DNA sequence: GCATTCT
DNA sequence: AGAATGCAACGCCGT
DNA sequence: ACGGCG
């Protein structure tokens, strides 16, 4: 294997030191994971993707640049490796040199290979994560040419949580904010700025000896008022970024210069194309969820060895959220109105990069506060739009509005107040398998609420506390952590206790065991997450506009989105029939007129939160079956183009004991009136045998009759029971029913299929959609609905959920809970026969 | 619909 | 890249 | 032994 550094030969051969500003060394301690994308206006304007491996930058020329759309593959020509320091190079390469022209750092950050890169280069496939300012998430480079020496690759964005959720990258450098054209044309934003500032008749002031102190906030509450603007409050270090006489300072609140600790920010300050300015902002480090994480920032701040700092600048990079500019090019902006200053600030900063402009919302503070709270942000800062910057002052022109948090906690004890009241509750949350005490809360509930909660708690009285409590209050009564309460609080204290907790309500709908400990400040977190932040577990629904059911008379075409809408709306009725049961998908990726296939085995690409269960299928081979136990799982499966979902009659806990026996009434030429007649006959038979039984449409043209078994029979016995019932029916209605499998021999009679009772056999799940032109669904029916005029096709994906909402209850309620006395039923059926 | 393999 | 391919299964019964 | 059926 060639060493990375040795192969820099080509790079050196093409360039002459002293004549080009490009670097020639690899001196940076990066931790081996920097990537950069240069935009290079040389003979042709193009992009270069460079990935650090073994001390050099593997490079690809990407003529059209990267695309954030997975469908958009971009040619990438593999070129000679570059020295690592190249990732910090931005500038003009003079005429006459190799690659003469302007080059900007279009994006930069950390790259995380997801497979061995050396091997990948050899095999022609690299898979990696990018964590830049513009590019995020999973990418691949694949070699396309037929031979191994081909230099032609493709750069492809892989499907992930970032796709479609990030804005189109802006064209500017993430460092200087210059476009490649501006750099080439020698644009001088500083000169333009000076001209404009002079014209605005601002007095030019001598720079003060010492930098201004930061303006401070008073506390406030959310409000809506014209003349005010609202900014997100970032959870980090307040910094003043100062550029003067070619030097850069990052001053913390205490006046310490922390530029050496955050070189990536200092570098960005130095790269802005202005000579003299002071920015006010907040330094943050993002957590795995993409929100500012104070504990990560503290981790970062503790790193001081230069080598460690350089690595951390790539792996745990800081951002500076700038919200004010105090002076610019020798002009004092502090007396100017806030919004004027912010105009300048926005003008000065790149659209994307380590230093970000903090935008604001005008007037609507209350709405903004709602949003900020929901997003888990620290809060808002309200600022008077016309206010000046008052250094070192705690002013009423700036108000900080902290977000309140709301979480559920388990009650582990109470301080009683009389027989049916309490003065406070002791609260706990689950940290893994252990309960952790989080403090006491008293206020918030009225007398009546406290009384009912007290009664509920008294039932769980316990001798032992569920978690260690540092200071046990007098008169405490411990209870088992069974009851959950919703609590609003400001934050966790350093000691891990709730600050300013207020009880909101008794969560009698939530098991206490679901009260997980929210992340608290000071919790040691993973230093670096390799996966991109997943913006919430949500199913990405694709191709919602694809036509799945063609139009029929009286109804326009239905799309995959219509089907997903059905499954989302019906989930609450359908999930009880799916939980714990293996399913089989029948997939129609291109709608009912496209190809279809069955799928038993859970595809490997399913996300890991979808449950699978290994079951022996034929001897020796096991298959991982899918189990749908949530709305998200149902939607994910439906999004795969699954139209009907077939379920086992048994659950994984008791896979050999079906919960019901099914009789499938299959016409096939027989009139539906006959199907109903046969169903009515079976209804009578089962009533006489005192066997509970339920009815649903199969979704096609037939009906299903289901008999709950209460786990008393195995699959074989269930099948025999079905056969017995079928034979009785045939004896009574020989002209209308049959168990002949061959269609010809049925002679127009209704086929009573009892053979769907058996291990691994399935039926179309209640409420599942069917691939017929009507887009009908399998619908539970009341027996009273079995009368002239019933048409199974009247229940379809467009109205099924509406029907269920209007019914008082699911007609099949009881299928999964009621059972029967098997011996009595079989005896009764024997008599009928 | 999606991964994988072939060209 | 673009195209093609796989994605289930087994017992029943009549010939 | 094969083929249609669900």
Nucleotides on strand B lying under 7 Å from protein C-beta: 1-4
Nearest residue for C14, CA–C1': A742
Nearest residue for C2, CA–C1': A144
Distance A588 CA to B4 C1' (A): 20
Distance A596 CA to D2 C1' (A): 26
Distance A760 CA to B4 C1' (A): 28
Q: Reduced to 3 states, what is the DSSP secondary structure of residue A732?
A: helix
Secondary structure E strands in A115-184: 125-131, 136-143, 152-157
Q: Would the Cβ of A727 be found within 7 angstroms of any atom in strand C?
A: no
Nucleotide closest in space to A742 (CA vs C1')? D5
A737-738/A750-753 β-pairing: parallel
Nucleotide closest in space to A591 (CA vs C1')? B1
* Predicted confidence (pLDDT) per residue in A604-655, tens digit: 889 888 999 988 876 667 889 999 988 999 999 999 999 999 999 999 888 9
Nucleotide closest in space to A753 (CA vs C1')? D6
Nucleotide closest in space to A75 (CA vs C1')? C1
Distance A401 CA to D2 C1' (A): 80
Nucleotide closest in space to A755 (CA vs C1')? D6
Nearest residue for C11, CA–C1': A755
Q: Would the Cβ of A142 be found within 7 angstroms of any atom in strand C?
A: yes
Nucleotide closest in space to A560 (CA vs C1')? B1
The torsion angles phi and psi of A616, rounded to 5 degrees, stand at -75, 130
A560: enclosing H helix or E strand: helix A560-578
Nearest residue for C10, CA–C1': A618
Q: Would the Cβ of A742 be found within 7 angstroms of any atom in strand C?
A: yes
Distance A597 CA to C6 C1' (A): 10
What's residue A203's pLDDT?
63
Asked if residues A53 and A117 have their Cβ atoms less than 8 Å apart, the reply is yes
Instruction: Give residues lining strand B (CB < 7 Å).
Output: A 159, 542-543, 546, 560, 587, 589-590, 595, 597, 603-605, 639-641
Q: Would the Cβ of A493 be found within 7 angstroms of any atom in strand C?
A: no
How far is Cα A474 from Cα A831, in angstroms, rounded to an integer?
71
Distance A385 CA to C12 C1' (A): 82
What's residue A518's pLDDT?
84
What is the complex's ipTM, to 2 decimals? 0.84
Nucleotides on strand D lying under 7 Å from protein C-beta: 4-6
- Specify the DSSP class assigned to residue A8: G
Nucleotide closest in space to A546 (CA vs C1')? B1
Distance A455 CA to D5 C1' (A): 62
Residue A773 CB neighbour total at 10 angstroms: 15
Q: Would the Cβ of A167 be found within 7 angstroms of any atom in strand C?
A: no
Asked if residues A526 and A469 have their Cβ atoms less than 8 Å apart, the reply is no
* Predicted confidence (pLDDT) per residue in A272-331, tens digit: 999 999 999 999 998 776 778 776 787 788 788 888 898 899 888 999 999 999 999 989
Nearest residue for D4, CA–C1': A742
What's residue A220's pLDDT?
87
CA distances from A651 to A93, A656, A663 (A): 69, 8, 19
How far is Cα A247 from Cα A270, in angstroms, rounded to an integer?
8
Nucleotide closest in space to A741 (CA vs C1')? D5
Distance A352 CA to C1 C1' (A): 32
What's residue A536's pLDDT?
40
Asked if residues A49 and A124 have their Cβ atoms less than 8 Å apart, the reply is no
Q: Which of residues 147-166 of A touch strand C (CB under 7 A)?
A: 154, 156
Q: Which residues of chain A have pLDDT under 70?
A: 1-6, 145-148, 201-209, 289, 295, 376, 520-538, 618-620
Instruction: Give residues lining strand D (CB < 7 Å).
Output: A 664, 666, 668, 741-743, 751, 753, 756
pTM attached to this predicted model: 0.55
Nucleotide closest in space to A746 (CA vs C1')? D5
What's residue A219's pLDDT?
84
Distance A556 CA to C8 C1' (A): 34
- Beta bridge partners, A324, equal A280
What's residue A406's pLDDT?
80
- Interior CA angle at A548 toward A542 and A553, to 5°? 145
Find, among A661, A658, A560, A642, the residue nearest to A599 by Cα: A642
CA distances from A669 to A676, A677, A681, A727, A749 (A): 14, 15, 20, 21, 8
A365: enclosing H helix or E strand: helix A365-374
Distance A605 CA to C6 C1' (A): 15
Nucleotides on strand C lying under 7 Å from protein C-beta: 1, 7-14
- Specify the DSSP class assigned to residue A824: H
Distance A619 CA to C9 C1' (A): 13
Distance A745 CA to C14 C1' (A): 10
Find the DSSP H helices in A168-284.
180-184, 189-199, 263-271
How far is Cα A515 from Cα A434, in angstroms, rounded to an integer?
11
């Amino acid at each position: 294997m060639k060493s990375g550094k040795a192969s820099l030969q080509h790079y050196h051969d093409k360039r002459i030191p002293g004549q080009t500003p490009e670097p020639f060394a690899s001196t940076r301690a990066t931790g081996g994971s920097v990537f950069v994308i240069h935009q290079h206006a040389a003979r042709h304007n193009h992009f270069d993707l460079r990935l650090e491996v073994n001390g050099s930058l593997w490079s690809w020329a990407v003529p059209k640049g990267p695309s954030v759309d997975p469908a958009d593959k971009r040619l990438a020509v593999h070129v000679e490796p570059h020295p690592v320091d190249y990732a910090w190079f931005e500038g003009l390469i003079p005429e006459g040199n190799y690659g003469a022209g302007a080059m900007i750092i279009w994006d930069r950050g950390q790259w995380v290979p997801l497979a061995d890169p050396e091997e990948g280069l050899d095999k022609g496939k690299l898979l990696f994560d990018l964590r830049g300012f513009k590019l995020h998430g999973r990418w691949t480079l694949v070699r396309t040419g037929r031979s191994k020496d081909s230099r032609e690759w493709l750069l492809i964005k892989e499907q992930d949580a970032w796709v479609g959720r990030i804005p189109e990258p802006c064209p500017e450098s993430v460092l200087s904010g210059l476009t490649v054209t501006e750099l080439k044309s020698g644009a001088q934003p500083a000169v333009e700025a000076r001209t404009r500032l002079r014209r605005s008749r601002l007095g030019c002031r001598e720079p003060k000896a010492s930098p201004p102190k930061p303006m401070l906030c008073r506390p406030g509450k959310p409000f809506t008022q014209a003349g005010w603007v609202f900014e997100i409050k970032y959870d980090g270090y307040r910094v003043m970024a100062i550029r003067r006489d070619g030097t850069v300072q990052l001053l913390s609140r205490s006046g310490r210069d922390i530029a050496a600790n955050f070189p990536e920010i200092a570098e960005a300050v130095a790269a802005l194309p202005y000579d003299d300015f002071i920015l006010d902002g907040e330094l943050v480090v993002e957590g795995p969820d993409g929100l500012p994480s104070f504990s990560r920032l503290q981790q970062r701040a503790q790193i001081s060895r230069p080598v460690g700092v350089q690595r951390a600048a790539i792996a745990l990079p800081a951002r500076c959220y700038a919200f004010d500019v105090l002076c610019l090019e020798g002009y004092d902006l502090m007396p100017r109105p806030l919004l004027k200053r912010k105009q300048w600030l926005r003008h000065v900063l790149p659209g994307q990069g380590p230093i970000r402009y903090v935008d604001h919302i005008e007037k609507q503070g209350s709405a903004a506060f709602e949003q900020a709270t929901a997003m888990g942000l620290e809060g808002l800062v309200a600022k008077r739009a016309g206010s000046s910057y008052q250094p070192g002052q705690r002013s009423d022109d700036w108000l900080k509005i902290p977000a309140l948090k709301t979480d559920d906690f388990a009650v582990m004890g109470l301080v009683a107040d009389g027989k049916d009241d309490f003065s406070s509750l002791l609260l706990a949350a689950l940290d893994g398998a252990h309960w952790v005490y989080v403090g006491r809360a008293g206020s918030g509930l009225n007398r009546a609420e406290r009384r009912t909660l007290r009664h509920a708690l008294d039932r769980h009285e316990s001798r032992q506390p569920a978690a260690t409590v540092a200071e046990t209050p007098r008169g405490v009564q411990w209870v088992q952590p069974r009851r959950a309460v919703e609590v609003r609080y400001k934050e966790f204290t350093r000691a891990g206790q709730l600050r300013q907790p207020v009880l909101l309500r008794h969560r009698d709908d939530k098991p206490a065991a679901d009260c997980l400990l929210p992340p608290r400040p000071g919790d040691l977190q993973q230093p670096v997450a390799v996966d991109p932040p997943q913006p919430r577990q949500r199913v990405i629904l694709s191709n919602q506009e694809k036509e799945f059911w063609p139009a029929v008379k009286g109804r326009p075409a239905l799309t995959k989105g219509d089907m997903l809408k059905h499954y989302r709306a019906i989930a609450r009725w359908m999930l009880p029939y799916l939980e714990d049961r293996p399913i089989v998908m029948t997939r129609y990726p291109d709608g009912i007129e496209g190809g279809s296939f069955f799928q038993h085995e859970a595809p490997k690409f399913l996300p890991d939160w979808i449950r699978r269960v290994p079951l022996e299928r034929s001897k020796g081979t096991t298959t991982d079956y899918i189990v749908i136990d949530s709305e998200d799982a149902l939607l994910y499966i439906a999004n795969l183009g699954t139209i009907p979902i077939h379920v086992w009659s048994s659950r994984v806990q008791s896979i050999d004991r079906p919960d019901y026996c099914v009789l499938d009434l299959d016409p096939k030429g027989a009139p539906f009136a006959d199907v109903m007649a046969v169903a009515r006959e079976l209804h009578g038979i089962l009533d006489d045998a005192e066997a509970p039984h339920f009815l649903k449409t199969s979704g096609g043209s037939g009906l299903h009759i289901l008999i709950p078994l209460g786990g008393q029979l195995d699959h074989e016995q269930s099948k025999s029971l079905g056969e017995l019932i079928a034979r009785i029916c045939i004896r009574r209605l020989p002209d209308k029913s049959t168990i002949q499998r061959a269609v010809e021999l049925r002679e127009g009679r209704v086929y009573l299929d009892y053979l769907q009772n058996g291990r691994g056999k399935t039926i179309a799940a209640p409420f599942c959609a069917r691939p017929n032109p009507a887009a009908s669904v399998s619908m539970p029916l009341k027996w009273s609905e079995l009368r002239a005029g019933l048409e199974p096709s009247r229940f379809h994906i467009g109205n099924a959920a509406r029907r269920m909402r209007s019914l008082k209850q699911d007609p099949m309620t009881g299928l999964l809970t009621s059972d029967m006395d098997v011996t009595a039923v079989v005896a009764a059926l024997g008599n009928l026969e």
